[in-house]
Amino acid sequence: MQDFNSNFNQTQHGQNDGQAPKGLMDMVRQIASKFDGKDQNELLKAIYLEAEKGKRNGTLTNAQLDAFANMLYPFIDAKKQKLLSKIVEELKKI
């Protein structure tokens, strides 16, 4: 599986319109397709583990985490938005 940084590098630099870069969207679709029909928790765990790996090896920045979260917020309810914010903050500490 590709890392977050390689996906962000495929996008235009300087993009700051609040939308996730195309490469990140492609990676999310790839992960989601692998978990099609499986439990939502399994998908979330896979995304979290990839993000954690990226933070630990320095290929995922806090700005990239924010872009990812901002991309997802419109698609999830308030309870899940709160959980996602908490997870993003936890990942930022790594």
32 domain-assigned: yes
14 domain-assigned: no
- Distance from chain centroid for Cα 80: 14
Q: Above 80 in pLDDT, residue 91?
A: yes
* Helix pair angle (78-92, 40-57), 10° resolution: 30
**Assigned token pair, 63:** 């700005």
What mean pLDDT do residues 44-67 have? Answer: 89
Q: Tens of pLDDT along 1-36?
A: 445 555 444 443 444 455 555 666 776 777 677 767
Give CA–CA dist 88/61, Å, rounded: 11
Q: Tens of pLDDT along 73-89?
A: 888 889 889 989 999 99
67 domain-assigned: yes
What is the residue type of 91? L
**Count of structural domains, the chain:** 1
Domain that holds residue 40: 4-9+19-92
What is the residue type of 64? Q
